[in-house]
Amino acid sequence: MQLNLYRLWIFMTVIEEGGFSAAANKLYLSQPSVSNQVRQLEQALRTTLIDRSGARIRLTPEGEVLLEYAKRVFLLADEAVAAIRQVSGLQSGTLVAGGSTTVGTYLLPPLLAAFRAEHPGIDVGIFVGNAEQVEKRLVDGEVGVAVFAGVPRAPQLVSEPILEDRVVLITPPDHPLADSVKADPAQLAGERFLLREPGSSTRAVQEEALAGWGLAEATTSEIWGPETIKQSVAAGLGISLVSEHCVESELADRRLAVIDVAGAPEPRPIVLAHRRDRLLGPAEQEFIKLLRAVHTWPSHRGLRAV
């Protein structure tokens, strides 16, 4: 049995627009024509794809499965067009890289700047979110290549380590334990710990560190994003574990300080990832080569070593 792509496209439009009438308006077709095309698709598949019994349409379980595959089919078509346009020596095209919050904010910008210096015809962009958000974009095919602090778990992805990242316990510079030779975790018992939002790979490291220090019941507050955490620590709201790279400037000019704690977390891997079944375009392949050539974390002042 061959799947009719025209009918598949109409089916996707019905779901995206939320109904047959809205899809008909977008496609410049009559509503009966749209309904008929979806009905013929159901007949070909010998199943019901859309539950029409309520006030609003709903996908059946079979429809949900088909929708996921339909997205991949048309995404692959878009990838093919983009790849064809980029074949001519990377002279034109677009590269959008994803990054979990820390690496997306502090690692990707200098790397993409270096990439664009080599390939000025390629437009570049960055999608930044917590690890869960970036992983979803990667699985859904909205981003071709992404970099994570920690290893993504989705089975559709293949990943490889490129760097390491160490988390440090930051504090205002006037904290009694700031810059101490080695603090005992018990000395932190009365502190308020600022934690990243759920879904962040840094949040997992923070919780593991507190448990390892015997401080799982410590007072905590939830703060969204590393920049807000840095400002919160500087203002005296608490202390926090963050990537050493996101506080490079603040530590240099003494706006923040570090508490060296016994039993500090081990460095976590920085990994690049992409879908194992995705055909990467020339720009994505070239950017992966750049990522593999990085040997030290680039500074915000520029790319130090590749």
pLDDT digit string, tens, across residues 176-194: 998 777 899 999 999 999 9
Report pTM.
0.67
Tell me which residue has tokens 């390491």: 164
Strand arrangement, sheet containing 268-275:
122-129, 93-100, 145-149, 268-275, 157-165
Question: What crossing angle do the helices spanning 108-118 and 282-292 adopt, rounded to 10°?
Answer: 120
> Rounded mean pLDDT of the chain?
88
Tell me which residue has tokens 């988390």: 167
Residue range 267-287: mean pLDDT, rounded:
88
Output the 3-class SS for 120-162. Answer: CCEEEEEEEECHHHHHHHHHHCCCCEEEEECCCCCCCEEEEEE
pLDDT digit string, tens, across residues 15-61: 999 999 999 998 888 899 899 999 999 999 999 999 988 888 999 99
Answer whether residue 141 shows pLDDT above 90.
Answer: no
Report d(CA 94, CA 219) in Å as an integer: 45
CA distance to 75, 180, 183, 246, 254, per residue, from 250 (Å)? 42, 18, 21, 9, 6
What is the reported pLDDT for 88? 54
Report d(CA 183, CA 175) in Å as an integer: 12
Residues in Cβ contact with 220 at an 8 Å cutoff, skipping those fewer than 6 apart: 192, 193, 194, 195, 210
Report d(CA 211, CA 222) in Å as an integer: 17
Comparing 62-71, 209-218, 277-286, the range with the smallest average pLDDT is 277-286
299 vs 245 pLDDT, higher one: 245
Answer whether residue 273 shows pLDDT above 90.
Answer: yes
What is the reported pLDDT for 300? 47
Give the alpha-carbon dihedral of 109, 110, 115, 119, to 10 degrees. 80
Token pair, residue 301, equals 């002042």
Residue range 282-306: mean pLDDT, rounded:
72
What is the reported pLDDT for 84? 65
Residue whose C-alpha is closest to residue 195's, from 280, 130, 277, 261: 130
The terminus-to-terminus CA distance of the chain in angstroms comes to 50
Is 230 within 8 Å of 250 (Cβ atoms)? yes
Residue 156 corresponds to which amino acid? Q
Determine the distance from the C-alpha atom of residue 234 to the mean position of all C-alpha atoms in its chain, rounded to a whole number: 27
What is the reported pLDDT for 182? 86
What is the reported pLDDT for 228? 94
Answer whether residue 306 shows pLDDT above 50.
Answer: no
Residue range 197-201: mean pLDDT, rounded:
88
Report d(CA 138, CA 136) in Å as an integer: 5
Answer whether residue 211 shows pLDDT above 50.
Answer: yes
What is the reported pLDDT for 89? 56
List of domains in the chain: 5-82 (1.10.10.10), 90-162+268-292 (3.40.190.10), 167-259 (3.40.190.10)
pLDDT digit string, tens, across residues 53-110: 888 899 999 999 999 888 888 877 776 766 665 555 566 678 899 999 989 999 999 9
Q: What is the DSSP string of 228-296?
A: HHHHHHHTTS-BEEEEGGGGHHHHHTTSSEEE-BTTPPPPEEEEEEEETT----HHHHHHHHHHHT--S
What is the reported pLDDT for 71? 86
Token pair, residue 211, equals 């448990």
Residue range 220-228: mean pLDDT, rounded:
93
pLDDT digit string, tens, across residues 232-270: 999 999 999 999 999 999 999 999 999 999 998 999 999
Answer whether residue 283 shows pLDDT above 50.
Answer: yes
Residue range 129-145: mean pLDDT, rounded:
89
